[in-house]
Structure 1
């Protein structure tokens, strides 16, 4: 067997795995896990706005909320498995392209790779939390610590500024994409009836726009931290949401944004049913 034929065999096996039904199932399971996570964070944020909880409105707070209930450990294991599946699915997209228009573009494949790495870290954090060997750090503490470490190095301030601009830009792009219903490119709309299509579109617009706003706020705080050379200005998800409550609109703006995150969670559950999940199949129906 030649090296070329061996490479072809490896590539063929890799594509078979990437397009397999089990990997697509893992991707759909991962979208369910993402939806549950956003719903929990949104509920905690609503409670913060109403002054009925002291938990963090981030991934760590969501894990503690689940662990406090009977059977929570089992749900946490399922959540970790879901994010592992989401990471593997995104990794397959990075290797073979996304389903949907222009799925083979380098930018989209790199975006899938970045999401794969992120979801992998989320998975390890959940597993560490369940095993009691660690777990995800509070988003505010993590954001401040990383910002301070980077600022301690030459050029770190400019790196923070660049990251802040990227995160804010991504958030704005998410919000605009939500308003323009770009998410429809990745859905099997032909499998829905008219009423379901209308509902999913509404959830996608509200949820994606709200999620984009939160990311834009996170990026803005990083930009402020870089401009003031003060790592304490950086905020994680919980801090960003709490800052929203300090605006002239008061806690009701936070409740509105939190409701949007819950809506995005509900939309993610719809994606688990109707998303095109087979990598490298732009014309999948």
Structure 2
């Protein structure tokens, strides 16, 4: 063996130790927070009956694009989330849990999280280049294509249950404060405040994601792709429930809080 050869995990470790890599990941958390704050504000606006646009990543990017220097901010979002996604892929590569099942489970979680960051970065890139994205329509088209197949109902139900599971995981993570393991929090009121932000933010995001999963299951059982949709459709469906506008206001405020938590995470994340 060539003594100068370097293993992939060692190369990733070296890259993650670089100051530029860590800075890029922290910027990623900042822009992730910004996106959630904007989505939450749109949801609160919908709850108040003021419209406000689409309460999803595309709607957030559209709002950002309208402000002065918005295109610059969109490019920062692209770079930050790509850097954060690459960081999570690196975490998957260097995962060393001695238990095989747990190790691969954590790797799958890191890759899935990275994919979500890359997807949001892709949406930001579309708007930075002057385009538009309709995630709800894309979701309905995908659902319709799946339902057109013999096993389509089963596939859509499985997708719905998977998304519902992700939402439930966010709720559990917030309720159990599992997110603290990834932070180096200060003591006193600052640390307690960040914990509170994390609990509320994770639970609110989990509820929003879980409703997206429920819509997939409803679409499958009714064989109606119009029943499904992305985050915007989920939040608007929430508004139609008894006391739904109050619930939507709370979830929207919770998403804003999750965004603020992401700002704190950019400072205190263990990288």
Global fold match (TM > 0.5): yes
Offset of residue 39 of structure 1: 0.1
Say yes or no: does 1:208 pair with 2:202: yes
Deviates most, 15-24 or 198-207: 15-24
Structure 2 counterpart of 1:76: 74
8 A Cα contact 1:31 1:272, kept in partner: yes
Distance 1:152 1:33 in 2: 38
Corresponding pairs, count: 268
1:80-119 superposed matches below 5 A = 80-97=78-95, 105-119=103-117
Offset of residue 7 of structure 1: 5.2
Structure 2 counterpart of 1:193: 187
Say yes or no: does 1:246 pair with 2:244: no
Change (3 A) 1:10 1:143: closer
Distance 1:9 1:117 in 2: 24
Say yes or no: does 1:168 pair with 2:164: yes
Kindly provide the CA deviation profile for residues 140-178 of structure 1, in whole angstroms up to 9, marking residues without a partner as x: 212111111122223122111111111111211211221
Change (3 A) 1:208 1:10: closer
Change (3 A) 1:176 1:11: closer
Structure 1 counterpart of 2:18: 20
Distance 1:220 1:140 in 2: 15
For structure 2, list consecutive stretches of 5 or more residues without a partner in the other structure. none
Kindly provide the CA deviation profile for residues 109-157 of structure 1, in whole angstroms up to 9, marking residues without a partner as x: 111111222222222221222112x44x323212111111122223122
* RMSD (CA atoms): 2.0
Distance 2:251 2:138 in 1: 22
Structure 2 counterpart of 1:152: 148
8 A Cα contact 2:65 2:127, kept in partner: no
Change (3 A) 1:274 1:155: same
Structure 2 counterpart of 1:270: 264
Offset of residue 22 of structure 1: 2.0
Instruction: Name the SS of the counterpart of 2:6 in structure 1.
Output: helix
Offset of residue 72 of structure 1: 1.1
8 A Cα contact 1:98 1:108, kept in partner: no
Distance 1:5 1:149 in 2: 53
With normalisation by structure 2, the TM-score equals: 0.92
Change (3 A) 1:166 1:98: farther
With normalisation by structure 1, the TM-score equals: 0.88
Offset of residue 241 of structure 1: 0.5
Offset of residue 5 of structure 1: 4.6
Change (3 A) 1:259 1:54: closer
